[in-house]
Amino acid sequence: MSNKKYDVYGIGNALVDIITEVSEEFVLENKVEKGVMTLVEEERQAELLNSMKITEEHMQGGGSAANTLVAASQFGAKGFYSCKVANDLEGTFFLNDLKANGIDTVLTPETAPVGTTGKVLVMTTPDAERTMNTFLGITADFSEKEIHEYALKDSKYLYLEGYLVTSESGLAAMKKAKKIAEENGVKTALTFSDPAMVKYFKEQMESVVGASVDLLFCNEEEAALFTGENDTDSIREELKKVAKRFAITQGKNGAIIYDGDTFIDIEPYQVKAVDTNGAGDMFAGAFLYAITNGHSYADAGKLASLASSKIVTQFGPRLTWPDAKEILNKWKVE
């Protein structure tokens, strides 16, 4: 695996995040389902934005797998991202953001198709929980056409974003990418992405998992929904049947890692959380960097825990490059 050009080849949604803070009353009054990602039409998203009376929008590059690849890149991994954006303001912003973060892609603002780039309204309540209302735009049409086999074959890991199971073309792309990876000795990592993806698209998710994936990322709620079990021991045993290795994040309680042989408890770093948006993406990105660059699963878990503990103390799903360097240095000392 050492002679591969890329550490991680990711496929997923290309979205621009609009980060906002809202009250509990706003969530109730506007009938927003709290704590999950909900797909909405462009009109509904605009309605919510208008009711917030926002005077300044804070735009950030987003998308679950994109956030993960950016995190991995900031720690030192080399990544390639297959996605779909339109030739509009948000699309240009997204592609420039990927480039600035060291991620390769074949798209350019000039070659991007006509359409509307997807946007995510990220609403954070005072309890630090994040709720997302997503208008997918052109990324809803992500398909097998966006898979670039030459880059996938030249990667150590394929990283699949669970959100893609919501569309037939996205689901087909996930399956094709996994098949190409398996035929070319590329390991497959999958993230469930969100409890709603397991709750409402479980059959589709199971079809992607197939006989097994090499590495699965999920949180406790997603793991319980997927396995149908409630206690931790039963959940772990069920996951062993579908994933060769896995990481179950537990929020303030740390994480459980299964390295294929043993279970490893990852201690949490105690912090005051203000925004949980992107914590799972950050965990996966830091973890993938570590295991593709010669580190053990235990050490990877420590870096992932440290990085995700940092991301929840700020608004937005990404670190600054200086912050990433500081985390990496702290991890190496420990």
Query: pLDDT tens digits, the chain, 334 residues: what are they?
Result: 468 999 999 999 999 888 888 999 999 999 999 998 898 999 998 889 888 865 545 778 899 999 999 999 999 999 999 999 999 988 999 999 999 999 999 999 999 999 999 998 889 899 988 898 989 899 999 999 999 999 999 999 999 999 999 999 999 999 999 999 999 999 999 999 999 999 999 999 999 999 899 999 999 999 999 999 999 999 999 999 999 999 999 988 999 999 999 999 999 998 988 878 789 999 999 999 999 999 999 999 999 999 999 999 988 888 999 999 999 999 988 7
Residues in the chain: 334
Q: 21 forms bridges with which residues in the sheet?
A: 124
How many angstroms separate the Cα of 297 from the Cα of each of 35, 249, 260, 321, 334? 29, 14, 10, 24, 15
Give me the pLDDT at residue 20, please: 85
Per the listing, tokens 């570590």 go with 290
Distance CA 216, CA 214 (A): 7
State the CB neighbour count (10 A cutoff) for residue 119.
24
CB 60 within 8 A of CB 274: no
Residues 6 or more apart whose Cβ sits within 8 Å of residue 241 = none
Per the listing, tokens 């809803």 go with 140
CB 231 within 8 A of CB 238: no
Distance CA 292, CA 271 (A): 28
Distance CA 320, CA 215 (A): 27
Tell me the whole-structure pTM to 2 decimals.
0.90
Task: Read off φ and ψ for residue 147, nearest 5 degrees.
Answer: -85, 130
From the list 320, 317, 333, the residue with the least C-alpha distance to 67 is 317
From the list 103, 97, 101, the residue with the least C-alpha distance to 79 is 103
Give me the pLDDT at residue 54, please: 58
Distance CA 143, CA 316 (A): 28
Distance CA 10, CA 157 (A): 8
Give me the pLDDT at residue 51, please: 82
Distance CA 313, CA 271 (A): 7
From the list 207, 138, 197, 148, the residue with the least C-alpha distance to 172 is 207
Q: 200 forms bridges with which residues in the sheet?
A: none
Question: Is residue 163 classed as helix, strand or coil in its secondary structure?
Answer: helix
CB 186 within 8 A of CB 152: yes
